[in-house]
């Protein structure tokens, strides 16, 4: 199992490196192969870690598969329909992650109070993005922000007060941060710099989350 996990981890890292190099050099078409390969890597990593053996793992695997679908749908750069479908896939992925974290259980019901600062942060994100959203996104983006806020709240709530497993809350946080890079690239200031930090954060987050199914 460990050998397979390492293989899939390396596939994801290699795929990510190719995607970043192609984005930096402006080479079209490479992402259609390299990005799905990189994302299949974290799905396979979770399966090799035993994702199908528990309800928690099954919900997490559903989130990973939906994220894979979102990754493919976001490859086209100028297609609003594909972007909206990708947004929907990731939104459902965040819902699946939140369900997984709730299945895992809360260590302390009071830990849900972490929602208070996260809701304030969500308000700040919407304030930042709102003037840049056209009518198509003024419903979709708030729904998405609600989904990622719920997901991160559940991630923190299920690991507090012990903070374990670190991979769970850190993976969720990195996924959340990577979504900000997508939003900045789409609505604020497009450019490679967004992907230079957003994609590594995203893939690291997915791999960390996938690792939490091992032995659960």
Three-class DSSP labels, 59-83: HHHHHHHHHHHHHHHCCCCCCHHHH
- If you ran DSSP here, which 8-state letter would residue 178 be given? H
Contact 64, 46 (CB under 8 A): yes
Contact 117, 192 (CB under 8 A): no
Residues listed for the chain: 216
d(CA 48, CA 214): 9
Query: In Å, what is the CA distance from 183 to each residue of 59, 144, 178, 191, 214?
Result: 26, 11, 9, 12, 32
Mean residue pLDDT of the chain comes to 93
Rg (CA), the chain: 17
191-211 residue pLDDT tens: 999 999 999 999 999 999 999
pLDDT at 16 over 90: yes
d(CA 92, CA 80): 18
pLDDT interval class at 57 (50, 70, 90): very high
Query: In Å, what is the CA distance from 208 to each residue of 15, 167, 175, 205, 213?
Result: 17, 5, 10, 5, 10
Q: Is the dihedral of CA 8, 39, 166, 111 positive or negative?
A: negative
Q: Residue 26: what pLDDT?
A: 84
Question: For residue 103, what are its two tokens?
Answer: 């299945």
pLDDT interval class at 2 (50, 70, 90): low
∠ at Cα 181 (177, 185), nearest 5°?
A: 165
Mean pLDDT, range 35-49, rounded to an integer? 96
In this structure, of 19-28, 37-46, 107-116, 164-173, the range with the lowest mean pLDDT score is 107-116
Mean pLDDT, range 130-142, rounded to an integer? 93
Q: Residue 80: what pLDDT?
A: 78
pLDDT at 86 over 70: yes
Q: Residue 112: what pLDDT?
A: 80
pLDDT at 1 over 70: no
Q: Residue 37: what pLDDT?
A: 96
Contact 22, 7 (CB under 8 A): no
∠ at Cα 30 (23, 14), nearest 5°?
A: 80
Mean pLDDT, range 24-40, rounded to an integer? 91
Q: Is the dihedral of CA 145, 60, 174, 162 positive or negative?
A: positive
Question: For residue 99, what are its two tokens?
Answer: 């369900």
Q: Residue 79: what pLDDT?
A: 73
């Amino acid at each position: 199992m460990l050998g397979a996990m390492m293989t899939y981890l390396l596939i994801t890292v290699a795929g990510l490196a190719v995607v970043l190099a192609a984005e930096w050099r402006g080479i079209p078409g490479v992402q259609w192969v390299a990005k799905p390969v990189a994302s299949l890597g974290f799905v396979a990593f979770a399966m090799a870690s035993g994702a199908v053996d528990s309800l928690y793992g099954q919900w997490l695997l559903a989130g990973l598969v939906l994220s894979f679908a979102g990754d493919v749908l976001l490859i086209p750069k100028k297609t609003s329909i594909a972007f909206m479908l990708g947004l929907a896939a990731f939104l459902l992925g965040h819902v699946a992650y939140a369900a997984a974290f709730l299945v895992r259980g809360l260590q302390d019901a009071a830990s849900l109070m972490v929602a208070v600062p996260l809701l304030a942060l969500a308000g700040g994100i919407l304030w930042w993005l709102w003037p840049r959203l056209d009518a198509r996104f003024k419903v979709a983006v708030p729904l998405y922000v609600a989904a990622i806020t719920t997901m991160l709240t559940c991630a923190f709530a299920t690991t507090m007060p012990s903070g374990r497993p670190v991979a769970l809350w850190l993976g969720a946080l990195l996924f959340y941060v990577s979504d900000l890079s997508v939003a900045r690239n789409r609505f604020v200031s497009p450019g490679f710099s967004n992907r230079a930090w957003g994609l590594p954060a995203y893939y690291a987050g997915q791999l960390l989350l996938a690792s939490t199914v091992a032995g659960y």
